[in-house]
Amino acid sequence: MLRQVEGSAAVAETVARCRPEVVCAYPISPQTHIVEGLSDLVRDGTLAPCEYVTVESEFAALSVCIGASAAGARAYTATASQGLLFMAEALYNASGLGLPIVMTVTNRAIGAPINIWNDHSDAMSQRDCGWVQLYAADNQEAVDLHMQAFRIAERLSLPVMVCMDGFVLTHAYERIDVPSAEQVDAFLPPFEPRQVLDPAAPVTIGALVGPEAFAEVRYLSHARQMQALEAIPDVADEFARVFDRPSGGLVHGYRADDAETVVVALGSVLGTIEEAVDAMREEGVRIGALAVKSFRPFPARTVRAALRRAKRVVVLERALAPGAGGVLSSDVRVALKEAPLDVHTVVAGLGGRPIGGESLRRLFADAGAGRLEPLTFLDLDRERVEAELGATALNGGSGTTVGSGA
């Protein structure tokens, strides 16, 4: 039903209608409204049977989900930022054991310095942990991707992260079609685990694997991710049939087919990018956008096909790999192979810095005019960083000097 509702509330209700049997989470901004909503639904009996387990940390939260999933329960958790880092060891266990846990990551920066606002540093830091990573462009897609995530996870026996921008989406009231229980039931069948830990028929999972077989186990993990490249669009098609709207998939092009400049990005900034594209199209600029919906697995072939007519690519990153540059753009460059394309990395919106349409239009115009460096930081306060760089040079280059009166 269409409602004007907070993103987090819509996600909590939708997850509840996916009938998880175990929800275990540790609260952290900006994820809290989702797990508070779920705990209310468990307490008042709306979500039943389901056990909401309260724990002392994110490490425990995911560990409980691992145990629950191994025992055959549909398991869900949510976190962000430092909370995701605290789960890091368990993330690898969940994927290594092939457990179809679904987790919402309400994307938030990582400290220090401490910052509660939105960027993609958290999920990007766990890029290689073996989980599928899907990114929502708006709250409707965030809702839709949660239903799809359980399907994808359980079809492949692989854990799935649904990434939605913290605060920007989680705390926004928008018009959202929140699915009914009947709709979700028509789309998502009950969980049938591949393997169940059962005291009556004991097995060992996660046992020691030596050099003779470890590479094969890892290869299979990669192979399952590559199978997800087929499962994700299949599930999106099936979703479109049941819900009569497109959502999810591997990538989504916007006015990109005949574009000379294509902007590649993830998450909620895509709406602002689309508006900038429309404004520039009206001025006759051939520009378009490509939303990457599935970051892991990375749909290299699909991205290459979508960019084959472009002359230049601007990858807008909400994360930074210090010492290297972009995270997403590395994957885009590999996908393009030897195609004669200029690929620009633009780091933007770190720690909640707003990404404004005007800045974007200026940036894209610079790209079109060949004025864009290979690595650019959008709206960077040059004076401030140069003063700091100058001061550290004078002081021998160790530690911060800002505010020290040096």
For another protein, the binding residues (CB under 8 A) are: 3-4, 6, 30, 116-118, 138, 165, 167-169, 171-175, 255, 268-269, 271-272, 274-275, 278-279, 281, 352, 354-357
Least distance CB 245 / another protein (angstroms): 12
Give the residue with the Cβ less far from another protein, 22 or 273. 273
Least distance CB 352 / another protein (angstroms): 6
307 touches 293 (CB < 8 A): no
296 touches 127 (CB < 8 A): yes
Least distance CB 239 / another protein (angstroms): 19
Give the residue with the Cβ less far from another protein, 198 or 278. 278
| Number of C-beta neighbours around residue 91 at 10 A | 22
35 touches 78 (CB < 8 A): yes
Least distance CB 279 / another protein (angstroms): 7
| Number of C-beta neighbours around residue 109 at 10 A | 25
Give the residue with the Cβ less far from another protein, 325 or 356. 356
Give the residue with the Cβ less far from another protein, 69 or 140. 140
Give the residue with the Cβ less far from another protein, 173 or 214. 173
Pair type for strands 287-292 and 251-254: antiparallel
Give the residue with the Cβ less far from another protein, 281 or 304. 281
CA atoms within 13 A on the CB side of 102: 31
Q: Give burial (CB, 10 Å; 0-12/13-18/19+) of 175.
A: exposed
Least distance CB 256 / another protein (angstroms): 13
Backbone angles phi, psi at 185, to 5 degrees: -60, -35
**190 prior amide bond cis, ω within 30:** no
The H-assigned helical ranges of 56-138 are 58-70, 81-86, 88-96, 121-125
Q: Which residue has the tokens 């508006």?
A: 275
Q: For residues 49 and 252, give the distance between their C-alpha atoms in angstroms, rounded to a whole number.
A: 37
Q: For residues 193 and 71, give the distance between their C-alpha atoms in angstroms, rounded to a whole number.
A: 9
Give the residue with the Cβ less far from another protein, 29 or 39. 29
